[in-house]
Amino acid sequence: QKEVEQDPGPLSVPEGAIVSLNCTYSNSAFQYFMWYRQYSRKGPELLMYTYSSGNKEDGRFTAQVDKSSKYISLFIRDSQPSDSATYLCAMSGNRGSTLGRLYFGRGTQLTVWP
């Protein structure tokens, strides 16, 4: 079992839809949770960062972390064609083998059509 599981999709939605992306994980040592966006043939860029449990909002993006369920989500409101990309969840911890490194999900490919 991989440490971080993410449905690769693909996910295709019309412009304006609310998109929900999710990851589950198995290592309870994870404390830092991130979402990266990767456009085709580009490097990943950090979208959202959350420490421990809770919600964080940034514009049209909301990240949620439920540590009790080992489940994280990214919501995109009013999705735009420019949101079409692969979204990768990533996690890290502050002890042992989780310190100083990112564990990535496989990424979900999202297409938003006009």
Partner 1 sequence: DTAVSQTPKYLVTQMGNDKSIKCEQNLGHDTMYWYKQDSKKFLKIMFSYNNKELIINETVPNRFSPKSPDKAHLNLHINSLELGDSAVYFCASSQDTRVETQYFGPGTRLLVL
Q: Contact residues for partner 1 (CB under 8 A)?
A: 8, 32, 34, 36, 38, 41-46, 49, 51, 86, 88, 90, 92, 99-102, 104, 106-107, 109
The residue (of 76 and 87) whose beta carbon lies closer to partner 1 is 87
CB of 76 to partner 1, least distance (A): 19
Residue with Cβ nearer partner 1 (59 or 100):
100
Q: Is the CB of residue 84 less than 8 Å from the CB of residue 56?
A: no
Q: Which is nearer to partner 1, 77 or 101 (CB)?
A: 101
Question: In sequence order, what DSSP letters do the residues of the chain get, joined into one string?
Answer: --SEE-----EEEETT--EEEEEEE--TTEEEEEEEEE-TTS--EEEEEEESSEEEEETTEEEEEETTTTEEEEEESS--GGG-EEEEEEEEESSGGGBT--EE---EEEEEE-
Compute the least distance from the CB of residue 78 to partner 1, in Å: 26
| Minimum CB distance to partner 1 smaller for 78 or for 97 | 97
